[in-house]
């Protein structure tokens, strides 16, 4: 295991100790983007930076900005602001975009990708598949967000099943540790896009679910946030038409996933 992933457990436990008084009581309240507290300076000693995964699709073939870039960079920047504001994790202020076949992913324990069902679904090269598999088995964590309905799920599964063809994708129940590692959350949350509501997300969906691929020790390597859009919750934090309760849910879930990734 490379040093950065090998040491994440120790650093993550320290983070939890530093933030322990906030456990299960604090509700995110991110507002006032003109406040200087949100003008993050770059911290070379930061423990966390936001890494977004760039990928190809059947229709887009990865040229220019495709589904991978939706909500970019506002969602990435706002999530970093939220982590800095709501935890004692030191963050770096410049989000990063990497592909799975880039060995630089091994420098970061947390990767984020979204809209994996659009454009006919993902295209993963053999090098991407092998590098991602190694990254996850070494202790890395991948969060997949913002794709909706059975067809998009099928598109995602057709490509992603190549990474771990012998591992089952399980559904996470509300009592799973990932929902309680920092904030106490009552399981998956349907976080809608801008100008939608949690009564009607996308494609007629009115519920969210979380699924996962586990390693041999039962650690979540891949967390699949299906029928929910955390990225919009982060991106539209300051939008006057976006309800604060949705943004709060997005930060609570995202921070829980991050805490889990840094301590497991």
Q: Report residue 78's pLDDT band, with 50, 70 and 90 as the boundaries.
A: very high
Structure-token match 């506002």, residue found = 74
47/131 Cα distance (integer angstroms):
23
79/93 Cα distance (integer angstroms):
10
Q: Which has the higher per-residue pLDDT, 113 or 62?
A: 113
Q: Report residue 9's pLDDT band, with 50, 70 and 90 as the boundaries.
A: very low
pTM: 0.84
From residue 127, give the alpha-carbon distance in Å to each of 49, 132, 162. 24, 8, 12
Contact 236, 164 (CB under 8 A): no
Q: What is the number of structural domains in the chain? A: 1
CATH number at residue 36: 3.40.50.12140
Tokens of 211: 């699924």
Domain of residue 253 covers 3-263
| Beta carbons within 10 angstroms of residue 89's beta carbon | 20
| Beta carbons within 10 angstroms of residue 182's beta carbon | 25
pLDDT at position 10 is 46
Q: Report residue 94's pLDDT band, with 50, 70 and 90 as the boundaries.
A: confident
């Amino acid at each position: 295991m490379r040093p950065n992933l090998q040491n994440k457990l120790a650093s993550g436990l320290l983070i939890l100790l530093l933030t322990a008084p906030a456990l299960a009581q604090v509700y995110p309240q991110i507002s006032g983007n003109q406040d200087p507290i949100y003008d993050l300076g770059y911290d070379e000693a930061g423990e966390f930076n936001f890494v977004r995964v760039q990928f190809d699709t059947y229709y887009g073939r990865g040229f220019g900005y495709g589904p991978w870039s939706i909500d970019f960079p506002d969602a990435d920047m706002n999530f970093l602001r939220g982590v800095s504001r709501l935890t004692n994790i030191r963050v770096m202020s410049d989000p990063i975009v990497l592909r799975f076949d880039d060995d630089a992913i091994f420098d970061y324990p947390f990767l984020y990708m979204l809209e994996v069902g659009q454009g006919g679904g993902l295209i993963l090269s053999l090098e991407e598949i092998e590098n991602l598999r190694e990254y996850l088995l070494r202790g890395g964590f991948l969060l997949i967000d913002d794709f909706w309905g059975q067809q998009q799920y099928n598109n995602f599964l057709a490509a992603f099943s190549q990474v771990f063809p012998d591992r089952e994708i399980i559904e996470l129940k509300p009592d799973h540790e990932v929902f309680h590692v920092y904030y106490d959350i009552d399981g998956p949350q349907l976080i809608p896009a801008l100008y939608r509501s949690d009564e009607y997300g996308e494609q007629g969906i009115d519920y969210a679910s979380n699924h996962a691929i586990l390693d041999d020790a039962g650690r979540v390597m891949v967390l699949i946030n299906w029928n929910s859009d955390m990225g919009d919750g982060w991106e539209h934090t300051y939008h006057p038409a976006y309800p604060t309760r949705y943004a709060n849910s997005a930060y609570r879930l995202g921070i829980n996933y991050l805490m889990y990734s840094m301590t497991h």
